[in-house]
């Protein structure tokens, strides 16, 4: 779906809203639904289709066994040449990101099935007791030709809707311009609203230290993805030691095995992961448990209809779930579900419907299916 207005992060432009819906059916008539954010979409869909016969006939409640089986296709394995062990031959290296996305969508659908089979919402299945969890709104994307204070007006409108925390995109402009954007936003949202900066990896360590000290007077809760994509936990440790602002990271990590080293380094105060991009709810749960043990707060990236269940289950070990204060940001996600979460007064309100509590608007799917 073409967006009304194209916008940028510090990394890339977005002119379309896209989403892959995954449905998994059981022989007992239960259907589970998962969501994938990633691309190329056709490749992800082709991989999901390839994975289907790999798990046909397996117990849908055995989510770990299914996850490990699918994950094994991403690496060489004894007996795996040519698919001789009954699974697809090891995937080419270049297809691993798309494979992790496809696994993620399937896994989310399995958790939806698990909740429906138990007749429980996922948050209760995980032991959570709160049906309402904290959320913040992301905005402040760059629009070509927009004045520097456009983000301030936008995020102030989110606060007017009841949000008590907002996150803005930064890192694309000069330091002076970014300070202007951030200072005007702080003035517009007031001193009580939490303000986070989503940087999309624009800096090396030394430049980021300068940035952190320049924006610290505006009471920033975290710097998210502050360093270039190729920099590693040791670089985050150097930044954390010199930054007056805590660090957040994790949405671009494919598995628990890479985010583990960031968590264990002590550099992060907040860890972000995205079930819809990489590896699904099972892997997010593993990451969340590790983060809890290390005193790092979980703050899942996007998809609050899924991640709010995890936030509920982790209680004080979770910061909250991310959402968007404007439906224009992702109209597909808002149109896809005929029943889903309610966001009100800065909180995600979960229902007692089983699974993730979502119902699909099939008319919408038919209209926009590609």
Check residue 130 and give its pLDDT.
Answer: 95
pLDDT digits (tens, 9 = 90+) for 259-282: 999 999 999 999 999 999 999 999
Tokens 């190329």, residue located: 40
Q: What is the CATH number of domain 124-368?
A: 3.20.20.120
Please name every residue paired with 137 in a beta bridge, in sequence order, or none if there are none: 166, 323
Residue 225 φ/ψ, nearest 5 degrees: 45, 60
Per DSSP, the three-state class of 194 is strand
pLDDT digits (tens, 9 = 90+) for 105-164: 999 999 999 999 999 999 999 999 999 999 999 999 999 999 999 999 999 999 999 999
Residue of 238, 257, 256 whose CA lies nearest to 247: 238
Check residue 193 and give its pLDDT.
Answer: 98
Long-range contacts of 264-267 (CB under 8 A, 24+ apart): 264/233, 264/294, 265/233, 265/234, 265/236, 265/237, 266/237, 266/240, 266/294, 267/233, 267/236, 267/237, 267/239, 267/240
Q: Domain limits of the chain?
A: 2-119, 124-368
Per DSSP, the three-state class of 209 is helix
Report how far residue 158's alpha carbon sits from residue 165's, in angstroms, rounded to the nearest whole number.
Answer: 9
Residue 243 Cα distances to 205, 207, 222, 256, 267, angstroms: 10, 11, 10, 26, 10
Higher pLDDT, 241 or 370: 241
Q: Which distant-in-sequence residues (6+ apart) come within 8 Å of 333 by Cβ?
A: 17, 19, 35, 303
Residue 312 φ/ψ, nearest 5 degrees: -60, -45
Report how far residue 73's alpha carbon sits from residue 68's, in angstroms, rounded to the nearest whole number.
Answer: 9
Is there a shared CATH topology between the 2-119 domain and the 124-368 domain?
Answer: no
Identify the CATH homologous superfamily for domain 2-119: Enolase-like, N-terminal domain (3.30.390.10)
Per DSSP, the three-state class of 113 is helix
Task: Find the mean pLDDT for residues 222-245.
Answer: 98
Check residue 331 and give its pLDDT.
Answer: 82
Report how far residue 47's alpha carbon sits from residue 88's, in angstroms, rounded to the nearest whole number.
Answer: 10
Per DSSP, the three-state class of 166 is strand
Round the average pLDDT of the chain to a whole number and report it: 95
Higher pLDDT, 10 or 104: 104
């Amino acid at each position: 779906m073409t967006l009304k207005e194209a916008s940028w992060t510090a990394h890339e432009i977005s002119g379309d809203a896209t989403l892959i819906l995954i449905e998994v059916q059981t022989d007992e008539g239960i259907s589970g639904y998962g969501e994938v954010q990633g691309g190329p979409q056709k490749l992800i869909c082709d991989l999901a289709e390839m994975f289907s016969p790999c798990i046909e006939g397996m117990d849908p409640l055995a989510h770990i066994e299914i996850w490990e089986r699918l994950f094994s296709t991403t690496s060489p394995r004894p007996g795996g040449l040519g698919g001789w062990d009954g699974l697809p031959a090891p995937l080419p290296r270049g297809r691993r990101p798309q494979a992790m996305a496809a696994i993620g969508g399937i896994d989310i659908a399995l958790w939806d099935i698990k909740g429906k089979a138990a007749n429980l919402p996922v948050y209760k299945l995980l032991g959570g007791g709160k049906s309402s969890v904290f959320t913040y709104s992301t905005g402040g994307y760059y629009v070509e030709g927009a004045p520097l204070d456009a983000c301030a007006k936008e995020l102030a409108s989110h606060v007017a809707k009841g949000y008590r925390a907002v996150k803005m995109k930064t890192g694309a402009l000069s330091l002076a311009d970014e300070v202007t954007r951030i200072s005007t936003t702080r003035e517009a949202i007031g001193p009580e609203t939490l303000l986070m900066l989503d940087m999309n990896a624009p800096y090396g360590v030394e430049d980021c230290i300068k940035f952190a000290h320049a924006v610290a007077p505006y009471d920033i809760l975290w710097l998210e993805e502050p360093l270039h994509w190729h920099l590693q936990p040791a670089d985050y440790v150097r930044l954390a030691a010199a930054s007056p602002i805590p660090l957040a990271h994790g949405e671009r990590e494919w598995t628990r095995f890479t985010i583990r080293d960031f968590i264990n380094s002590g550099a992060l105060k907040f860890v972000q992961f995205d079930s819809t991009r990489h590896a699904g709810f099972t892997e997010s749960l593993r990451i969340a448990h590790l983060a809890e043990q290390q005193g790092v707060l979980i703050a899942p990236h996007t998809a609050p209809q899924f991640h709010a269940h995890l936030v509920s289950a982790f209680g004080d070990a979770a910061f909250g779930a991310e959402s968007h204060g404007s439906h224009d940001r992702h109209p597909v996600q808002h149109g896809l579900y005929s029943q889903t979460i309610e966001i009100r007064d800065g909180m995600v309100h979960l229902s007692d419907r089983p699974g993730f509590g979502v119902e699909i608007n099939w008319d919408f799917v038919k209209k926009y299916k590609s």
